[in-house]
Amino acid sequence: MSEKNRKRVFITGGASGLGLALAVRFAREGWRVAVADINDERCETACAAVDKNGGQSLSVHCDIRSDSEVSEAVDLVTREWGGLDVLINNAGVASAGTMLDTSIEDWRWMIDINLLGAIRVSKAFLPVMKGSVCGHVINIASAAGIAQCPGMASYNVAKAGMIALSETLKNELKPMGIGVTVVCPSFFVTNLLESYKGTDAGARDVANRLMKRSKLTADDIAEAVWRGMQGNDFFVFGHGEARLAYHFKRLFPGMFSTSTHKVAERMFAGMTTPAAEKPNGH
């Protein structure tokens, strides 16, 4: 395949986990793959995997919290490739904690990466995607954005925001011929917990056990994403339980709410609600 005919994809957090699996999946189709990450060493390893699997790699150091680094990434891709066909907002971090025990600092950290990061990157790249024949935006959300499990406040909100962002983009980008897919998997083995922040030490262990118990891998989710993009599907779940949760909540909201309340009661049994802090120390 000639360089001119290779389609172009930009993947944030593309050096490991699901991002790496996506990079390799697109490479197998002969795509040009821009691997964007803050870890330069992993980025180079991922680029080698892209090249080995039939793609053409481009290593991009990019912190999606930085307006300037995102702008530089757009300039690099435009200079090297002349445009972009597919944008994948995959970079993300993990956290656990209730609304009351999650600090404002941790809320800012979570929202800035898991939601504003995708907004920042999309806003920067969409102008150079307007002329694409196969334009598509893929946002990696989570089943947590659909079924808000107690004790994951900031993560739930960020991922629910990612779904809302995706629906907004779907409506706004359709006249431009750009499709949108939002991916909402449940737990699967990945390195997401490397970035974990949380007030409950046990929550990380629970998440780790659920990840290891999953029958699906990052490669399985990447394959589901590829098929979903080909079919211009809006939702991609990967896991059957995530799909079930979506339909259960939509069709039976009262029953869904009751089941969630029961989960919360079991989780917080014996806990007392902390008293609100008085302003100015009074």
Map out the domains of the chain with their CATH numbers: 3-242 (3.40.50.720)
147 pLDDT band, cuts 50/70/90, is: confident
Q: Is the pLDDT of residue 207 over 50?
A: no
Q: Which amino acid is residue 74, in one-letter code?
A: V
Sign, CA dihedral 236-16-113-88, equals negative
Q: Is the pLDDT of residue 156 over 50?
A: yes
Mean per-residue pLDDT, 235-261 = 67
* Rounded CA separation 110/91 (Å): 11
Catalytic residue among 31, 125, 155, 188: 155
Q: What is the pLDDT of residue 132?
A: 81
Burial 83-117 (b: 16+ CB within 10 A, else e): ebbbbbbbbbbbbbbbeeebeeebbebbbbbbbbb
* Token pair 């990696």 in the structure block, residue: 140
Per the annotation, the verdict on 196 as an active-site residue is: no
* Rounded CA separation 155/110 (Å): 7
Mean per-residue pLDDT, 37-45 = 97
